[in-house]
A and B are shown apart, each in its own frame.
Chain A
Amino acid sequence: MTAGINLSAILQHPHLRDVVVLGGQVSEQKVAGCTVARDIAARVTGIAQRMLVVLYSSNRDDWRLDNLLHRAHQHGAVAVLIQGHAPLNPSTTALADLLRTPILGASDPFAAHRAIEVLIHEPRAHMADLVLAVVAAAQGAGPTLEDAVHRIGEAIARPLFLVDTQDVLVRWNEDISTAALHHAVSAHPSDDRRARWTVHSGGQVFITCPVRSGTISAWLVAVLPERLDTEIEALSAALTTAVAPIGQRLATARLALERDALYRTTLLGEILEGRISEVTRRRALDLGWRLDGWHTGIYIGLDDELDITASRPHVVSAFDNAGMKATVVERGQGWAVWLTAEHELSAKDVQLQATAIRRAHRALGRLISVYVGVGRLHFGPDGVSRSLGEATDAASLARQRPASGRFLHVDRLGLAQLLLAWTRTDTFQPAAMSLLEPLSAELIETLTTYLDSESSVNETAAILGVHRNTVASRITRIQRALEVDLSVADDRLALHLACRAITTPM
């Protein structure tokens, strides 16, 4: 005899929605099968560990119902299922409690019997039913992901979700939290393409099935209220069947996204290069972009190798939620964003807008790792380009500055710092290196300190802890080696920048 399966899990199966508990407690009982009796007077034998299903038994006042319960209990039955949902007499309810043998009611006991038998003894049949139902549902579904997931969800009659690493793409039930779904998905080994299941605290079972489409990683997740192995196996097979139609819709949706992204990126490219033709204007207008007015450019850089096209909705909604209508375009490994105002903003408005942008940054930062630069206010189509240019520079500076929250606003930067930032570009660095090449590390340190100390030999000697004559002699050696005159302002500036470029850690 098999150990049987949990009665409580069976009763939560969608095929047994017709079955209700009329009396007694359903807890840890295990059911090994069903035995059918014609009516409550029928003889019952061989029902140990089984559920006794009585086909004709609607009269609740008949004392023989109590007698049947007594006999079922004596023969070791797990539960008695009778006809109808009408409540039991208090005596019968009390007896079911006393004998710890629950009485269940179903409007169609035979159908309930059949469903239970399939769950216990015919797992392959259950699997086949579910797979066919999912195939039919996918065939009948419309072109959208939502429709496909909803219909498959209806077919399996369980909460079903389409989840990616960051979000729940389609939700067909409100009861399961996004965190729980992501927890389930994160437990799925990335190299395992089969459906897997995990039991969560509280007994819920999450079945995850990867959907791979090109670079996209998503999962179908179905949730069962309690572990029921037959259903888990059937659902695993059914979800595997659903992977193809869902993947195809994901790819189609992705294709549309990519097309839009390419269109946006190209259009922005034209604007940034200053080639603003009538056609460009019209296309921008079609996308709802505003080229006139006062623009604030923002660049949002992404640290991780994340999919910027797929993540764009996060950026859009972060700005939406902060109360800003932003234009967001994929650019580089990040997004170029700008805000447009009809009139020039007052200092206070700029302040308010900066606060709002910070808020959007924080919201976004909770989802993905980003750094943000914000440009100054500039006017007209060229303004977009100028402000975005500043924003991009500020962003590359912000990236190195965890201290500032990886957020820099050009208005708040010293111009000098911006200049300094430029010295860290790929073209300036080699030039600085070759300019200072003739000098030893000791001489570079002395030169840097001397220039930082406003060309004071005394101050330099104090900082370095050497005699002032040593400093003077080193300065002479430096001027000779570099063939420069440190009293010439231009030479001094060039050397100061070069020193700063190679001594300041990136």
Chain B
Amino acid sequence: MPDSRKDVTPQMELRAEDVDALVLGAALLGSGGGGKTIEVGMLLRRSLGTGSVVLHSPHDLDGAYVVPVGVVGATTVLTEKLPSGREFAAAVHAVCQWAGIEPEALMASEAGGVNGLTALVAALELQLPFIDADLMGRAFPRLDQLTWAVDGDHLSPTALAGTSGEIVIIDRAPARTMEGLVRATLRELGGWAAAAFPPRRANDLATSTIHGSVSRAIALGAALKELPEAASAWAIESATGARVLGAGRAFDVSRQKVADGTVGHGHISLRDRDADSIIRIECQNEYLLASVNGRLEAQTPDILCLLERRKLLPVEVDHVRDGDELLALHLPGPSWWWASRARQERVSPRAFGIPSLGEDRE
């Protein structure tokens, strides 16, 4: 719906023809996790029709209450049981009712993976303005890795809406407890739920969110889409601003399945015959750390992607198989995370149980 409050420089708008780029870009920001974006892309395209969504910056909507929304839980179940769109409305209304306010705008809780798209579906459903910002700038697996939780703010109240119409509101829980309570609830709700996080005024979002993450996803996806098949590393780097770590056949793909069906620690290695190098990626739900010939090249919160070598389509962690021809890409992570050591520590490889260098010698 049109914005009536402020008039600013040309607004970026998302139309149906941009969805393909967003599908690709959100998958890149997923860093191998965050769920498959294609199916939600179809949902978004249908929701958009011939219309568009304006991607506002927070200060466009100063003073408005903004609700971050997204899907929580197992994204593999999400693609089997697609959202109807009503779950988001139910969650947003529940959290605003509990907080005693009216929702005035939406934003994504997470820009990487499916949640780079779900908040847009929700904005169309609720006919609310959409703010081009999120609380991760990429994908992370835990709610206590949302920027607000990392900076010490609470996530209460949070509302969950299940696919059968259930509503769960969790309030007065510290961020870590919130993560545990949500996981416990999800087991009962059938794997995933729409989540609406505490509403905040738009002018409070300046330093506590990552700006422009949806437009970044679209730009990345568009750049990738433009590239020809089997593009050279140089072409990929100049088009996307990413760094190519190498390309080759996957071997030594090892992932430990853990009890709840999610992916445990593991690693994937590529043998780059041209560069005579071995690229090794440590992973959990996302790609977390990359080394080339044993030398550390990149780690969270930077973004790592594995793409099909020829078609340059992102491959998720649990879809890599021995023998796949892949290309490893390193994208700079959102600068918000690098701003302090405390922020880095919450999302560093070590936060995922993967030791990195120079930080475990207490």
Q: Roughly how many angstroms separate A62 CA and B354 CA in the complex, as a whole number?
A: 8
B215 touches A (CB below 8 Å): no
> In the complex the two chains form, is A70's CB within 8 Å of B295's CB?
yes
> In the complex the two chains form, is B269's CB within 8 Å of A67's CB?
no
- Which chain B residue has the least Cβ–Cβ distance from A73? B294
A189 touches B (CB below 8 Å): no
A95 surroundings in chain B (CB, below 8 A): 278, 280, 293-294
> In the complex the two chains form, is A91's CB within 8 Å of B296's CB?
no
> In the complex the two chains form, is A66's CB within 8 Å of B294's CB?
yes
> In the complex the two chains form, is A99's CB within 8 Å of B355's CB?
no
Q: What distance in Å separates the Cβ of B89 from its nearest Cβ neighbour in chain A? A: 44
Q: Roughly how many angstroms separate A71 CA and B296 CA in the complex, as a whole number?
A: 11
B277 touches A (CB below 8 Å): yes
A64 surroundings in chain B (CB, below 8 A): 355, 357
Which of these, A61, A63, A90, A99, contacts B291 with CB under 8 Å?
A: A63
- Which chain A residue has the least Cβ–Cβ distance from B281? A63
The proximity string for A residues 74-92 relative to B, scoring 1 for CB distances below 8 Å and 0 otherwise, is 0000000000000001110
A94 touches B (CB below 8 Å): yes
Given A91-B251, A99-B293 in contact, is the A66-B355 Cβ separation under 8 Å? no
Q: Roughly how many angstroms separate A41 CA and B350 CA in the complex, as a whole number?
A: 14
Q: What distance in Å separates the Cβ of A97 from its nearest Cβ neighbour in chain B? A: 9
B265 surroundings in chain A (CB, below 8 A): 61
Which of these, A41, A73, A90, contacts B251 with CB under 8 Å?
A: A90
B229 touches A (CB below 8 Å): no
> In the complex the two chains form, is A98's CB within 8 Å of B295's CB?
no
B276 touches A (CB below 8 Å): yes
> In the complex the two chains form, is B291's CB within 8 Å of A66's CB?
yes
> In the complex the two chains form, is B252's CB within 8 Å of A90's CB?
yes
Q: Roughly how many angstroms separate A98 CA and B358 CA in the complex, as a whole number?
A: 25
Q: Roughly how many angstroms separate A63 CA and B354 CA in the complex, as a whole number?
A: 9
> In the complex the two chains form, is A67's CB within 8 Å of B357's CB?
yes
Nearest 6 A/B pairs, CB to CB: A70-B294, A90-B252, A66-B294, A91-B269, A91-B252, A67-B294
B267 touches A (CB below 8 Å): yes
A224 touches B (CB below 8 Å): no
- Which chain A residue has the least Cβ–Cβ distance from B293? A70
Q: Roughly how many angstroms separate A504 CA and B289 CA in the complex, as a whole number?
A: 102
Q: What distance in Å separates the Cβ of A41 from its nearest Cβ neighbour in chain B? A: 6
> In the complex the two chains form, is A89's CB within 8 Å of B254's CB?
yes
A67 surroundings in chain B (CB, below 8 A): 291, 294-296, 357
A94 surroundings in chain B (CB, below 8 A): 251-252, 269, 271, 278
Which of these, A41, A68, A89, A90, contacts B294 with CB under 8 Å?
A: A68
Which of these, B277, B282, B289, B291, contacts A98 with CB under 8 Å?
A: B277
> In the complex the two chains form, is A91's CB within 8 Å of B280's CB?
yes
> In the complex the two chains form, is B355's CB within 8 Å of A98's CB?
no
- List residues of B whose CB falls within 8 A of some A CB: 251-252, 254, 265, 267, 269, 271, 276-278, 280, 282, 289, 291, 293-296, 354-355, 357-358, 360-361
A73 surroundings in chain B (CB, below 8 A): 294
A69 touches B (CB below 8 Å): yes
B251 surroundings in chain A (CB, below 8 A): 90-91, 94
Which of these, B252, B276, B361, contacts A41 with CB under 8 Å?
A: B361
- Which chain A residue has the least Cβ–Cβ distance from B290? A63
> In the complex the two chains form, is A91's CB within 8 Å of B293's CB?
no
Q: Roughly how many angstroms separate A486 CA and B45 CA in the complex, as a whole number?
A: 146
> In the complex the two chains form, is B267's CB within 8 Å of A63's CB?
yes
Q: Roughly how many angstroms separate A134 CA and B269 CA in the complex, as a whole number?
A: 51
B271 surroundings in chain A (CB, below 8 A): 94
B280 surroundings in chain A (CB, below 8 A): 63, 66, 91, 95
Q: Roughly how many angstroms separate A94 CA and B269 CA in the complex, as a whole number?
A: 10
B289 surroundings in chain A (CB, below 8 A): 63
Listed by A's residue number, 29 A-B pairs whose Cβ atoms lie within 8 Å are A41-B357, A41-B358, A41-B360, A61-B265, A61-B267, A63-B267, A63-B291, A64-B355, A66-B278, A66-B280, A66-B291, A66-B293, A66-B294, A70-B291, A70-B293, A73-B294, A89-B254, A89-B267, A90-B251, A91-B269, A94-B251, A94-B271, A94-B278, A95-B278, A95-B280, A95-B293, A95-B294, A98-B276, A99-B293
> In the complex the two chains form, is B360's CB within 8 Å of A71's CB?
no
> In the complex the two chains form, is A63's CB within 8 Å of B282's CB?
yes
- Name the interface residues of A152-173: CB closer than 8 Å to any CB of B: none
> In the complex the two chains form, is A71's CB within 8 Å of B294's CB?
yes
B354 surroundings in chain A (CB, below 8 A): 63
Q: What distance in Å separates the Cβ of B317 from its nearest Cβ neighbour in chain A? A: 15
Other A-B pairs, 20, CB within 8 Å; known A63-B291, A90-B269:
A41-B357, A61-B254, A62-B355, A63-B354, A64-B355, A64-B357, A66-B280, A66-B291, A66-B293, A67-B294, A70-B291, A70-B294, A70-B295, A71-B294, A73-B294, A91-B251, A91-B267, A94-B252, A94-B269, A99-B293
Q: Roughly how many angstroms separate A135 CA and B269 CA in the complex, as a whole number?
A: 55
Q: Roughly how many angstroms separate A68 CA and B295 CA in the complex, as a whole number?
A: 9
> In the complex the two chains form, is A91's CB within 8 Å of B278's CB?
yes
Q: Roughly how many angstroms separate A89 CA and B269 CA in the complex, as a whole number?
A: 10
- Which chain B residue has the least Cβ–Cβ distance from A62? B355
Given A63-B280, A89-B252, A91-B278 in contact, is the A41-B355 Cβ separation under 8 Å? yes
B267 surroundings in chain A (CB, below 8 A): 61, 63, 89, 91
- Which chain B residue has the least Cβ–Cβ distance from A69? B294
B358 surroundings in chain A (CB, below 8 A): 41
A91 surroundings in chain B (CB, below 8 A): 251-252, 267, 269, 278, 280
Interface centre among B354, B355, B360 (most CB of A within 10 A): B355
B254 surroundings in chain A (CB, below 8 A): 61, 89
Q: Roughly how many angstroms separate A61 CA and B251 CA in the complex, as a whole number?
A: 15
Q: What distance in Å separates the Cβ of A100 from its nearest Cβ neighbour in chain B? A: 12
Q: Roughly how many angstroms separate A94 CA and B280 CA in the complex, as a whole number?
A: 11
Q: What distance in Å separates the Cβ of B90 from its nearest Cβ neighbour in chain A? A: 43
Q: What distance in Å separates the Cβ of A96 from its nearest Cβ neighbour in chain B? A: 10
> In the complex the two chains form, is A98's CB within 8 Å of B278's CB?
yes
Q: What distance in Å separates the Cβ of A243 from its nearest Cβ neighbour in chain B? A: 52
Q: Roughly how many angstroms separate A64 CA and B293 CA in the complex, as a whole number?
A: 11
Q: What distance in Å separates the Cβ of A49 from its nearest Cβ neighbour in chain B? A: 20
Q: Roughly how many angstroms separate A63 CA and B293 CA in the complex, as a whole number?
A: 11
Q: Roughly how many angstroms separate A64 CA and B357 CA in the complex, as a whole number?
A: 8
Q: What distance in Å separates the Cβ of B274 from its nearest Cβ neighbour in chain A? A: 13
